[in-house]
Amino acid sequence: IKIMPLVTNSQFDSKKTHLFLQNPEAQQQAINELVQILQTHAYAGIQLDFEHILHIDKAAFTQFYQKLATTLH
């Protein structure tokens, strides 16, 4: 059985998600911590479930997702 943790945005809060997506340092910290968790527990991967993302954050979310994917591969 492969285990893949589910990662969500904080209570699907649009404002907190916006702040996160506008903060490259916070994003890098999240990526670093996710990599550490994946390596420590030998998880097969992760699933992202970010909801209620503001339309203005669409590109920023895509960039975060791509950076995370690149780091994990």
Nearest to 63 by CA among 11, 28, 32, 12: 28
The three-class DSSP label of residue 45 is: coil
| pTM score, whole prediction | 0.89
The answer to whether residue 10 scores a pLDDT higher than 90 is no
Residues 11-62: tens digit of each pLDDT? 999 999 999 999 999 999 999 999 999 999 999 999 999 999 999 999 999 9
User: What are φ and ψ of residue 7, in 5° steps?
Assistant: -110, 125
Tokens of 20: 């996160």
Query: Residue 7 is inside which H or E element, if any?
Result: strand 6-8
End-to-end C-alpha distance for the chain, whole angstroms = 21
Nearest to 21 by CA among 52, 51, 62, 49: 62
